[in-house]
């Protein structure tokens, strides 16, 4: 289980540690407009 803060909102996701962050954002959190390109992403 991981806790992510995206756009100021907290999300708890139960994903495999080897799942790409992009997939978690799209599939688990349900973000739209996210693409597979280099984006500045800050994990905390």
Can you give the residue range of the structural domain that contains 29?
A: 1-33
Question: How many domains, the chain?
Answer: 1
Distance CA 42, CA 7 (A): 11
What is the reported pLDDT for 10? 94
In a domain, 18, yes or no: yes
pTM of the model: 0.64
Nearest 5°: phi and psi at 24?
Answer: -65, -40
What is the tens place of the pLDDT at every residue in 1-44?
Answer: 999 998 899 999 999 888 888 888 888 998 887 666 555 555 55
- What's the rounded Cα separation, in Å, for the pair 25 and 27? 6
């Amino acid at each position: 289980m991981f806790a992510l803060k995206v756009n100021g909102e907290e999300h708890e996701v139960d994903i495999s540690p080897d799942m790409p962050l992009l997939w978690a954002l799209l599939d688990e959190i349900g973000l739209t407009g996210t693409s597979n390109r280099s984006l500045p992403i800050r994990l905390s």
